[in-house]
Structure 1
Amino acid sequence: MRKLLICLLLTLPIPLNTAAAAADCVDTACIDVYTQDGQIIIEGKKGSGPKAKVKPRTVKPSPKPTVVKPIFPELIPRPTATPTPSPKRTYKPRAKPTAKPTLKPKATKSVSLNDRLIKLLPTGGIAYQPEAEPLVNVPIYFWSDLPTQFATRVTVVGEVVDVLLRPGFVWSFGDGTFLSTTDPGGPYPNGKIKHTYKNPGIYPIILVQSWNGNWTHNGTTRAITGTIKTTVFAVVTVVIAPTRFMF
């Protein structure tokens, strides 16, 4: 029975201390960089959040008034046989002390900084060479005009964040051939992305461009959550070289 209870206790979920995790953003800034809807989102938070801190003030209690009892003079008998009654003295009622109003503690808003930056990445199209009626069995050079990297430095909640992304490419040449690379390609003669068609025809070219990267804050580098993908299209018409007859 004791072993069964121990096993049950070990399998129970242990609640995380969310208060300690939330307190991490009070003294140091919490930075996060991720992708959303084809954009780079950079968020920063520093402070204790929307909750207000109340600074209590000490209010001293009011002193109680001292009640003075009236003192009546003693009646002194006269030497005459018939005593004369002495007149009664009247006393004005004392004013009751008014209680001082209790001061309520002031609520001071806590300092909380939140910032959100959105960065748009560059887009690129498809270029190829030769442009005018490329021939069968002749290499065609393809490239994308995207930059080889995207680097930016931003400031959120007083903190400097460096963002660096590099593109990757997946080519579909329309004849069942695919190519995955990190090279954007280039024109003749130095371009590294080239394709040769064996048959004439109209070929749809599809290029998927993917951005991945990392961000750095306070000397620590982390990967950016998510990937930004864009797809561009082009059409290539490949023809047969004309045949010349010599007579």
Structure 2
Amino acid sequence: MASNQGQQPPIATVYVRNLEERVKVDKLKEALYTIFSEYGNVIDIVAKTNLKAKGQAFIVFDKPEPALTAVEELQGFELFEKPMQVALARTRSDATVQRYCSEEEFEAHKRHRMAEKERKKAAEAEEQKRLKRPIPGSGVEAGARPAKSARGPGLKSTAPGAAPVVPDEYLPPNRILFVQNLPDDFDKDALTAIFGRFEGFREVRMVPGRSGIAFVEYESEAGAITAKENTAGMPLKNGEKIMKVTYQRQ
């Protein structure tokens, strides 16, 4: 694998939007591959089914030149009776970074991407909180909806009629991390050595009478997000324990 240490890998990804949302993903990817492979070697196509990503796709070439040519020649090309809108992607794909960079640079790229994803989730969660703040004098929350009896996927309820409980892995980011599955002899100093490396670190709080868990606080969500992305799943005590790091439940 080639490595351009210190250099940014080129943009070799085409962003496509205004795609027909009713077409199944497999059929869509097959059609996109047929069209874009005329311009060069396509090494990956990313198209998702979630509501936000519908109608969009990313086509990853092995080189930047065919990506640029495809953008110039396929603008407005009709696919499933809808004109495609194409442009070079703003960010580099995992496949491109892995192809041009060292393993260390690729891992750093993935951590950065995940941190950016967490920051966006935090911003969206904050916006949702803002929209649901009580309307002055109304006695109701803004954007409030009637409760539904059915539970959404990924949610669990502790008792009939109880509000769904969000699993730890889906909790929105905040300044405090909840650390679990620690070795019994792990103390405040040991955790400070791990988490104190990240910007905005404030303190480690052990739980009196409870071993294996702790809370780590940062000055901002950004510091907590970075720390979580770099420590979750870390092996401790020669791999006997795998540290679990989530956000504190609010």
> Which structure has more RCO (C-alpha within 8 Å, separation ≥ 6)?
1
The structure that is helix-richer by fraction is 2
Larger radius of gyration: 1
TM range, smaller chain = under 0.3
Tell me the TM-score normalised to structure 2 length.
0.17
The structure that is strand-richer by fraction is 1
Tell me the TM-score normalised to structure 1 length.
0.17
